[in-house]
Amino acid sequence: MGEPARLGLTRLLDGRVLGWAEWGPVDGAPVLLCPGAATSRWLGFGGGVVDSAGIRLISVDRPGLGASDPAPGRTLSSWAADIRHLFQERSLRAPSAVGFSQGAPFALALAVDGLVNAVAVVSGSDELAHARFAHSLPPQVRDMVDAVAADPDAAEASFAGFGSADALWDLIITTSPEADRAVYTDPVFQHAFRRAMDEAFSQGPAGYARDTVLAMGRWPFDPADITVPVDLWYGQQDTSPVHSPDRGESLTRMIPTATRHLVPTTAGSLLWTHAEAILHTLTAHAR
């Protein structure tokens, strides 16, 4: 993915700002990217696809990450309120959304609020605190989920103590299969990925920690209430302990409008290895 075509800030009603980056034509079909954990607006996807397909890809820093002001105690619902204002201020009509990894619940929250006309969840974090995963989480993930349930504030402080660009990069590399490491350690991609992580932690670890509390807790919405098309994309070789334990199988059953795409030859990095298919499938829903 090349450099953003446009960078900017949008001021919210309470005075905070949201930082964003854009690729593709300014008059293209708007697609909002909710990035993965510990990354920022600098890491897009789709390369030349967004230009040839007429897509205006917008990546937004969540509060406390990158260029977006903090919002202590924020929720998935308050995120949707922020994005509603962003859409209004920037005249983004009939947008779609992509939620990658930890960005998945943030994208789905927009769908529940009726802010987007379709969603692509890519290697998405599932609702790990849901009872359907009571016996299928790795021990370290179960410990995080239990910690959030028992004392969210203490868990958030713990996540902040661990969170840094270097620590998260090491975790990604050590838990990824070879198919993903080949993508992530490509010199050009690694430079872009590491820059996005450094930018995400430019204000410290609090934004990452809050994201992780929200990802490890119960969602404040019912996926069954989603009425727009949702495509769930997972790689059969994905070994991430914090993506969906069943690669979206049960979440597909819970969302009435969901279609699951399980790609046998790839892993968690399919946002970049299968960008064209993901974007074309997503934007086809708007036609």
By the 8 A CB rule, do 245 and 126 touch? Answer: yes
- Supply the DSSP symbol for 222: -
Q: Which pLDDT score is estimated for 162?
A: 85
Q: Is residue 83 classed as helix, strand or coil in its secondary structure?
A: helix
- Mean local confidence (pLDDT), 35-64: 95
Q: Which pLDDT score is estimated for 1?
A: 65
* CA 28/CA 30 separation, integer angstroms: 6
- Give the model confidence (pLDDT) of 232-271 as tens digits: 999 999 999 999 999 999 999 999 999 999 999 999 999 9
Q: Which pLDDT score is estimated for 2?
A: 81
Res. 111: pLDDT tops 80 = yes
119: confidence class by pLDDT, cuts 50, 70, 90: very high
* CA 66/CA 201 separation, integer angstroms: 7
Residues in a beta bridge with 31:
57, 96
Q: Which pLDDT score is estimated for 96?
A: 98
By the 8 A CB rule, do 197 and 38 touch? Answer: yes
112: confidence class by pLDDT, cuts 50, 70, 90: very high
Res. 287: pLDDT tops 80 = no
- Residue carrying structure tokens 């399919």: 270
By the 8 A CB rule, do 99 and 271 touch? Answer: no
By the 8 A CB rule, do 183 and 269 touch? Answer: yes
Helices (H), 101-164: 104-112, 139-150, 152-162
- Give the model confidence (pLDDT) of 142-196 as tens digits: 999 999 999 999 999 999 998 899 999 998 999 899 999 999 999 999 999 999 9
Q: Mean pLDDT lowest for which of 25-29, 75-79, 169-173, 227-231?
A: 169-173
* CA 268/CA 190 separation, integer angstroms: 15
Res. 217: pLDDT tops 70 = yes
Question: What's at 203, amino acid-wise?
Answer: Q
Q: Which pLDDT score is estimated for 94?
A: 87
- Mean local confidence (pLDDT), 218-229: 97
14: confidence class by pLDDT, cuts 50, 70, 90: very high
Q: Which pLDDT score is estimated for 107?
A: 98
Q: Which pLDDT score is estimated for 264?
A: 95
* CA 236/CA 245 separation, integer angstroms: 11
- Give the model confidence (pLDDT) of 55-103 as tens digits: 999 999 999 999 999 999 999 999 999 999 999 999 998 899 999 999 9
